[in-house]
Amino acid sequence: MKCRPKGLAITTGPYPGFPTDLQSPFMAFLAAGEGQSVIEERVFEGRFATVKSLEKMGASICTRGRCAVIEGRYPLKEAVVHASDLRGGAALAVAALAAEGRTIIRDCRHIERGYEDICRDLAVLGARIRWVDESCTL
């Protein structure tokens, strides 16, 4: 990656604050970034369900209560991961774009439910991505 994102401090909140729906994809983005980032989730409890899958991909994330501390690493590594929800599934697709090798995201029905054609959209940006049964391969 030519230019990695620098560390950020994000706190979710109701409008006009940072939207909680973007918290998971930003966590994946920052996992491949440079330096330390902190995300404080003030809207929903238990919103860090994707952390285990991101860690499986080599991300360094420490959660405590409503806070997650992310140490950026690049590249992430290939893995077989599970989309536990819509935003978490999108976050795994983001992380897979920063991973070496092939990542398989299982249970993509969550992603499919929320995005008309995420494979097409990411392919337009240069991703090598395809659906395989109920999985998404990047």
Domain-embedded: residue 19? yes
Range of the domain at 43: 9-137
Q: DSSP for 74-123, please give it.
A: SSEE--EEE--SHHHHHHHHHHHHTEES--EEE-THHHHHH-S-HHHHHH
Mean pLDDT of the chain: 92
Model confidence pLDDT, tens digit, residues 29-39 = 999 999 999 99
CATH classification of the domain holding 27 = 3.65.10.10
Reported as a single tens digit per residue, the pLDDT across 77-87 is 999 999 989 99
**Number of domains making up the chain:** 1
101 located within any domain: yes
1 found inside a domain: no
Residue at 120 is within a domain: yes
Q: Is residue 4 in some structural domain?
A: no
- Overall average pLDDT of the 108-112 stretch: 85
pTM attached to this predicted model: 0.91
Backbone Cα Rg of the chain: 14
| CA separation for the pair 127, 109 (Å, rounded) | 20
| pLDDT reported for residue 27 | 97
Asked if the structure places residue 2 within a domain, the reply is no
pLDDT of residue 110: 82
Q: Please tell me whether the peptide bond between 16 and the residue prior to it is cis, using omega within 30 degrees of 0.
A: yes
Burial class (CB in 10 A: 0-12, 13-18, 19+), 31: buried
Looking at the predicted structure, is the pLDDT value of residue 93 above 60?
yes
pLDDT tens per residue across span 9-28: 999 999 999 999 999 999 99
Q: Is residue 69 part of a domain?
A: yes
Choice between 134 and 78, residue whose per-residue pLDDT is larger: 78
